[in-house]
């Protein structure tokens, strides 16, 4: 395969078999960390930038600005650099230093806000900063991943199609929810082409996306402190909330087996483990892993950080547990 642009290297057909998670069934973990820029967000970044270019909103050399707790920022930094757009990423203290370093290496301007919003997160503060920049600088284009239909469309076109072309007859699909772009794009495609698949949304305790009460969260990727406009909270068949402590324990337990995944993959795998007793035998389960663990060595995989945030019991690798939201 010979490509003209790095962002065309979308790796959408690699799955890891983890049947032991649901005894008597097949479980496949889709490895999105293999994409350039290291996460599933390559597809959302490419979809949103090309949509803005097609619409004439992002002309040659126009600056792109976006709020991201890490992975979309890295993906946009790569796509923007390859296409000749300057890029500003607005981050917060939960963003991993590794992601910030990657964005800077790709030529991005990185701005960190530190004031918490009314819900205890940083999203409101990040968006206020973006609005100020867009008002002051006419050639700055805000992609707004939380409201941009090109975000779910990218997952309808790439992620969902790729899953169904690789794995036939899927009974359960577990998807972590940040902006809900992945969830909503997969829902659109699966409702048309695989309506019997039960779509399970996985969110973090403390996220307000599905109407649950806010509380501080520390792991980037899953969850919001403000409901995303693109999300229809009633659309998934089930919503499972996982505590960040359970996500951490699950990540660390899989790392012991060489499966080194990011924080949100820990939540998704914990949700699959939690659901295992009610999944009928001979089911086929697909779970999405948005990224690998290398951006989480200072957090999820650091004993001191985990002890400070979640207490000493989160460091030990114990039984996996989740909490059903609906
Ligand atoms: C690192 C990371 N990137 C992307 C996603 C997917 O998020 P979105 O809902 O924005 O498509 C998640 C959610 O699981 C994530 O953890």
Ligand 1 pocket check for 221: Cβ under 6 Å: yes
Looking at per-residue pLDDT, the higher value among 68 and 190 belongs to: 190
With a pLDDT cut of 90, the percent of the chain lying above it is 84
Q: Which of 182, 183, 293 to mutate to test the pocket of ligand 1 (most atoms within 8 A of CB)?
A: 182
> Are 87 and 80 spatial neighbours (Cβ–Cβ below 8 Å)?
yes
Residues 168 and 136 in one domain: no
Residue 119: per-residue pLDDT: 72
| pLDDT over 60 (residue 125) | yes
Q: What would the pLDDT profile of 29-73 be if each residue is shown by its tens digit?
A: 999 999 999 999 999 999 999 999 999 999 999 999 999 878 999
Q: State the distance between the two ends of the chain, measured CA to CA, in whole angstroms.
A: 44
Ligand 1 pocket check for 295: Cβ under 6 Å: no
**How does residue 322 score in pLDDT terms, banded at 50, 70 and 90?**
very low
Residues 194 and 63 in one domain: no
**pTM above 0.75?**
yes
| pLDDT over 60 (residue 302) | yes
Residues 234-257 have a mean pLDDT of: 96
Strands, DSSP E only, in 158-225? 172-176, 198-204
Residues 67 and 155 in one domain: no
Instruction: Please classify residue 116 by burial: count the beta carbons closer than 10 Å to its beta carbon, then call 0-12 exposed, 13-18 middle and 19+ buried.
Output: middle
Residues 95 and 224 in one domain: no
Its domain, for residue 157, covers 6-35+149-324
Region of residue 102 (left: phi > 0; alpha: psi -120 to 50; beta: else): alpha
Residues 192-211 have a mean pLDDT of: 97
With a pLDDT cut of 70, the percent of the chain lying above it is 97
CATH number of the structural domain spanning residue 113: 3.40.50.1100
Distance CA 230, CA 168 (A): 28
Distance CA 301, CA 308 (A): 13
Ligand 1 pocket check for 180: Cβ under 6 Å: yes
Q: Which of 88-92, 244-248, 255-259, 319-323 has the lowest mean pLDDT?
A: 319-323
Residues 294-317 have a mean pLDDT of: 91
Distance CA 307, CA 297 (A): 14
Number of domains in the chain: 2
Residue 43 tokens, joined: 């597809």
Question: Does residue 265 fall inside a structural domain?
Answer: yes
Single residue among 111, 142, 173 that ends a domain in this structure: 142
């Amino acid at each position: 395969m010979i490509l003209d642009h790095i962002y065309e290297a979308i790796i959408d057909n690699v799955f890891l078999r983890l049947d032991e998670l649901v005894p008597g069934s097949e479980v496949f973990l889709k490895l999105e960390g293999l994409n350039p820029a290291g996460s599933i967000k390559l597809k959302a970044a490419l979809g949103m930038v090309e949509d803005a270019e097609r619409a004439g909103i992002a002309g040659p050399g126009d600056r792109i600005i976006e709020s991201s707790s890490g992975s979309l920022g890295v993906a946009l930094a790569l796509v923007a650099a390859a296409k000749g757009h300057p890029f500003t990423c607005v981050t917060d203290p939960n963003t991993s230093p590794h992601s910030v370093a990657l964005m800077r290496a790709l030529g991005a301007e990185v701005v960190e806000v530190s004031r918490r919003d009314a819900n205890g997160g940083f999203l409101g503060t990040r968006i206020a900063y973006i609005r100020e920049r867009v008002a002051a600088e006419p050639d700055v284009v805000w992609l707004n991943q939380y409201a941009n239909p090109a975000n779910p469309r990218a997952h309808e076109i790439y992620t969902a199609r790729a899953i169904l072309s690789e794995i036939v007859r899927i009974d359960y699909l577990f998807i972590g929810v940040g902006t809900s772009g992945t969830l909503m794009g997969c829902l659109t495609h699966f409702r048309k082409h695989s309506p019997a698949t039960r779509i399970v949304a996985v969110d973090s305790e403390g996220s307000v996306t599905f109407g649950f009460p806010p509380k501080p969260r520390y792991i980037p990727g899953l969850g919001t402190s403000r409901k995303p406009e693109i999300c229809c909270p009633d659309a998934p068949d089930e919503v499972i909330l996982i505590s960040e402590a359970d996500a951490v324990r699950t990540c660390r337990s899989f790392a012991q087996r060489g499966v080194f995944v990011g924080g949100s993959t820990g939540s998704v795998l914990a949700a699959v483990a939690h659901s295992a007793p009610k999944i009928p035998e001979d089911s086929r389960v697909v779970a999405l892993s948005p990224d690998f663990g290398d951006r989480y060595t200072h957090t999820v995989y650091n004993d001191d950080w985990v002890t400070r945030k979640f207490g000493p019991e989160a460091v030990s690798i114990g039984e996996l547990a989740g909490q059903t939201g609906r």
